[in-house]
Structure 1
Amino acid sequence: MKTFNPATDTITPRAWVGCLSCYNDGELVGHWYDAIDAANVLPQDIHGVPTDHEELWVMDHENIPTIPGSPEMDPLTATAWAEVIEAITPQWRGAYLAWIEDQWISTPVEAPGRDEFFGFFAGEYANFTDYADGIVCDTGMFIGVPDDVAQYFDLERYAADLAQGYTVIDTPDYNVWVFANH
């Protein structure tokens, strides 16, 4: 399994919160914030002075699942996503986000919590065959089977059959995340 490097692997949900009134007038006025703070952003934070523009909107984001049809959302939703994502161990936030998008989960209310996620998540491997090999070894599948019989076991075919019960998602560094289909 991959070792987490906090210097390079930190995944923090971020949101570009902007003034909707200014946007509707053809101006982009806003700033990037950690999404956990998006719901607390005030119009004067965006404008730098008190204003009568009251409606704020998240017009772009990073490390928040993309809602089908639009990357935009209100600041409360961005903060809700951040709360769900930040409950996951930093090492596995990338896997969590990939699984959320693969499962077409579109709201933080639908997103699995930490315990539920780790009930599905089997880990990161070089490929699915390595995962299947781990099952063969961990279960002692060949204990007591003579070597001259065990040599005919086709691990690739076993992995292909086993994969039917799993979701496998490519990682950015050319490994795979493995999730059990429950």
Structure 2
Amino acid sequence: MTESRVWVGCVACYSQGRSVGDWVDAITADDTTSTLEWRARAHADLARLVPEDPWDGVSRHEEWWVMDHEGLPLNGECSPFQAQELAEFCEQVDNCGVPLDAVLGYAQCTGDDLVAVDLEVCEAAYLGQWDSIADYAEDHARESGLIPSGIVSWPLDCIDWDEAAGQLFHDLYDVTAPAGGIYVFDTV
């Protein structure tokens, strides 16, 4: 997995028009922001710029938020806890046989929240990546023995593989792959 980092900023400072925070590893985002030492370091530059105690009481500056990120499948902002949870999940995905983009698509098909996806079920349902549903249908026909080995190609050219795929995909999910093609999953 690409190293995932998040920029965690102080919500109170942001509301006052200041950008106070720091980049941290996403896998430790919640742990990092819960330490007073990290908070003090993040506010150190601000304290030098505005010596009259700009945060007049620590309590107003205890809410931290992920305002930017790199290497996470995330749209928008989230809490440091959510970023850490997502980074931990992505690390688990790296250890299974399904690409992260395919897991994202699987979550959309099943309606699951990404971090709630059962990776064992996802991996069992994952059938692979193909250029199109027609390519999947032809490959499936060959692999399952429906097309005898040694058959010449011209009869196969007469088969409408898109139509054949339409019949197969009653029990399958297909998800567009970002780099092109599709990921295919069994629905069971």
Shared fold (TM-score greater than 0.5)?
Answer: yes
Map 1:118-157 → 2, pairs under 5 A: 118-143=123-148, 151=156, 153-157=159-163
For 2:93, what is the secondary structure of its paired residue?
Answer: coil
Counterpart for residue 64 of structure 1: 73
Q: Deviations 1:86-116 (Å, cap 9, x if unpaired)?
A: 10127712222343345454463xx213312
Counterpart for residue 34 of structure 1: 25
Given that 2:133 and 2:162 are in contact with CA atoms closer than 8 Å, whether structure 1 keeps it comes out as: no
Letter in 2 for 1:36: I
For 2:99, what is the secondary structure of its paired residue?
Answer: helix
Q: Deviations 1:2-56 (Å, cap 9, x if unpaired)?
A: xxxxxxxx44443221111111222222233331111122323533479822221
Given that 1:14 and 1:64 are in contact with CA atoms closer than 8 Å, whether structure 2 keeps it comes out as: no
Cα 1:153–1:107 change in 2 (3 A) is closer
Counterpart for residue 173 of structure 1: 179
Counterpart for residue 100 of structure 1: 107
Cα distance between partner residues in 1 of 2:69 and 2:111: 17
Counterpart for residue 10 of structure 2: 19
Given that 1:38 and 1:78 are in contact with CA atoms closer than 8 Å, whether structure 2 keeps it comes out as: yes
Letter in 2 for 1:82: A
Q: Report the alpha carbon displacement of residue 79 of structure 1 after superposing the two structures with TM.
A: 0.7
Map 1:64-83 → 2, pairs under 5 A: 64-66=73-75, 71-83=76-88
Letter in 2 for 1:28: S
**Percent of aligned pairs with the same amino acid:** 27
Cα 1:177–1:107 change in 2 (3 A) is closer
Q: Deviations 1:132-164 (Å, cap 9, x if unpaired)?
A: 2221111101349x97xx655432211122223
Given that 1:84 and 1:113 are in contact with CA atoms closer than 8 Å, whether structure 2 keeps it comes out as: no
Residue ranges of structure 2 left out of the alignment (5+ in a row): 34-38, 48-54
Residue ranges of structure 1 left out of the alignment (5+ in a row): 1-9
Q: What is the number of residues matched between the two proteins?
A: 164
Cα 1:14–1:94 change in 2 (3 A) is farther
Given that 1:11 and 1:94 are in contact with CA atoms closer than 8 Å, whether structure 2 keeps it comes out as: no
Cα distance between partner residues in 1 of 2:3 and 2:140: 33
For 1:31, what is the secondary structure of its paired residue?
Answer: strand
TM-score normalised by structure 2 residue count: 0.71
Q: Report the alpha carbon displacement of residue 77 of structure 1 after superposing the two structures with TM.
A: 1.4
Root-mean-square deviation (CA, aligned residues, Å) is 2.9
